[in-house]
Amino acid sequence: MENPFENAMQQLSKAASIMNLDKNIHEILKQPDRVLTVSIPVKMDNGEVKVFTGFRSQYNDSLGPYKGGIRYHWNVTPDEVKALSFWMMIKCATVNIPMGGGKGGIIVNPKELSESELEKLSRGFIRKIWRNIGSDKDVPAPDVYTTPQIMAWMRDEYEKLLGKSDPGVITGKPIEQGGSEGRSFSTAQGGVYCVQELAKKMNWDPSQTAVSVQGYGNAGSFMAKILHELGFKIVAASDSKGGVYKEDGFNPEELFKHKQESGSVLGFKDTKEITNEEILELDTDILVPAALENVITDKNANNIKAKAVVELANGPTTPKADEILKEKGVTVVPDVLANAGGVTVSYFEWDQNVKSEHWSEEEVLEKLERIMVDAFDQVWETKEKYGVDMRTAAFVKAIERVGEKISF
């Protein structure tokens, strides 16, 4: 099993050597500012007390308050949480929003807990970390197996302990509780802006540009729908059960309805069934991995025929696969840029809460487009300047921004 924090530190070292990073700044960036480890006692429905372990990693707040999700998962480890908080720092700095990196997690299988046990766990976690969070310190959000409801409990508990309202303490809230318009599809929308910019750089005509989407969940299906409306040709899509392919393209909205009715993309009219392995190796212009991490590895990277990979999922490409794709001339738009629409709109939610404002969806998307297009252009420029891949360029750009603000 690869250690995610070791991977993250390899990426840091690679960028540091390319940009001749000041060795003191490199040293500072090798560790989070702090990792809180807490024990959360929960009185279970059967009257017994069970103690859960939770973590919160805070990675460099030179640009602004820490920002990042809280996950409930049986495999949460301190190294995973540290790595994810590091990548959040990089992601925020890549798109130039004034936030640092944060990530939290509790070792638990939430499916085994009743609703009241989940509520006690969520409130109990906040009771242990509340002095270290707040709209001016650290702003959590939902992540794997956590929901707007869990965020609402956490915010409520935090405000009780604080003794006053602080709606910006947590993002990913329901709209009626201060959530942002456009948040539900913001990750996909940010990815779409990246695809549009890439098509311009490559002089591709959208109607002649074939896109395949591996992972037809929330982000993947939204991205396919928006790209289709902009004239791109969606030729393949897959979910956990398998995939479908049609050379001259299909309507992703109809595929989404079919999936809702039947539970899978399989069996969609006039398409050929393919496996999840095959969708990665199709001869298309753009491959969008939108599901899990580590799907493009040194085992299959040589078989990738797409001209570009736009990473909507977190960490879908391993470091070894990155090297192979670069040799093959495949352009990879990395996750820290391509899926940063989500954290950007989370930042907008925080900004609206802090200023007691509520922006329309149109305003949100206008601001998001400006940020994503600027970030894409700056990463592209950095790539050309150093002759590196886009992921390394994004890291260089992000570390430049954080490094400028670090004082020691």
Catalytic residues: 103
Residue 314 token pair: 């977190």
* Residue 331 contacts residue 394 (beta carbons within 8 Å): no
Q: Under DSSP, is residue 38 helix (H, G, I), strand (E, B) or coil?
A: strand
Q: Which residues are registered as beta bridge partners of 52? A: 40
Alpha carbons 376 and 94: distance in angstroms, whole number: 9
CA distance 99 to 61: 7
Contact 389, 332 (CB under 8 A): yes
The answer for 108, left when phi > 0, alpha when psi is -120 to 50, beta otherwise, is beta
- 26 near 16, Cβ under 8 Å? yes
- Do the Cβ atoms of 182 and 357 come closer than 8 Å? no
DSSP-derived secondary structure for 357-402: ----HHHHHHHHHHHHHHHHHHHHHHHHHHT--HHHHHHHHHHHHH
CA geometry: angle at 331 spanning 329 and 334, to 5°? 140
User: Half-sphere exposure of residue 250, counting CA atoms within 13 Å on the CB side?
Assistant: 23
**Which helix (H) or strand (E) covers residue 23, if one does?**
helix 23-28
Greatest CA separation for the chain: 65
105: which strand partners?
A: 55, 71
Strand pairing class (210-214; 233-239) = parallel
Instruction: Please tell me the distance from the alpha carbon of residue 186 to that of residue 180, in angstroms, as a whole number.
Output: 10
Give me Rg for the CA atoms of the chain. Answer: 21
